[in-house]
Copies of this chain bind each other. A is one copy, B any other.
Amino acid sequence: MGRGSNLPRVGGFNRAVVLEAIRHSADGLTRAQLGRITGLAPQTVSNVTRELLNQQLIRETGSVPPGGRGRPGVALSLNPSGGLAVGIHIDPSALGIAVVDLTGEIVAENYGPLPSPQDATAAIAHLHHEVERMVQEASVPRGRLLGIGVAAPGPIDDDAGTVSPPLLPGWGTVPLRDLLARQTGLDVVLDKDVTAVAKAHLWTGESPDPADFLVFYLGAGAAISPVIAGQVVRGTTGNAGETMHLPGDPLSASPRGRILGTSLGERELVAHARELGMTLPGEVDSWNPHEIEEGFTDLLVRAGRGEATAIEVFASAGRVLGAAVLAVAELLDISAIVITGPRWAAMRPLCEPELQHAIADHTLHGQPRPLNLHTSSLGERAGTVGAACLVLDRLFSPTPATLLIGS
Contacts and interface: CB of A to CB of B under 8 A. Distances in A.
A103 interface: no
A236 B212 contact: yes
Interface stretch (A17-25, A144-152, A288-296): A17-25
A236 B333 CA distance: 6
A332 B367 CA distance: 27
B333 A235 contact: yes
Interface stretch (A90-98, A132-140, A237-245, A267-275): A237-245
Interface string A324-338: 001110111111000
Contact of A405 (B40, B166, B365, B406): B40
Contacts of A229: 1, 401
A10 B2 contact: no
Nearest to A358: B245
Count class of interface residues, chain A: 35 or more
Given A250-B255, A365-B154, A367-B155, A230 B1 contact: yes
A406 B39 contact: yes
User: Per DSSP, are chain A's interface residues mostly helix, strand or loop, or mixed?
Assistant: loop
Given A2-B17, A18-B4, A238-B333, A244 B37 contact: no
Contacts of A3: 17, 38-39
A328 B244 CA distance: 10
Contacts of A327: 245-247, 327
Ordered nearest first, which 3 A-B pairs have the shortest CB separation? Answer: A235-B333, A39-B405, A400-B400
Interface of A: 1-7, 10, 13-14, 17-18, 20-21, 24, 37-41, 44, 154-155, 164, 166, 209-212, 224, 226, 228-230, 233-248, 250, 255, 258-259, 323, 326-328, 330-335, 364-367, 400-401, 403-406
16 contacts: A1-B210, A4-B38, A38-B405, A39-B404, A39-B406, A166-B365, A212-B236, A226-B332, A229-B401, A233-B333, A240-B333, A245-B326, A245-B330, A247-B327, A328-B331, A400-B404
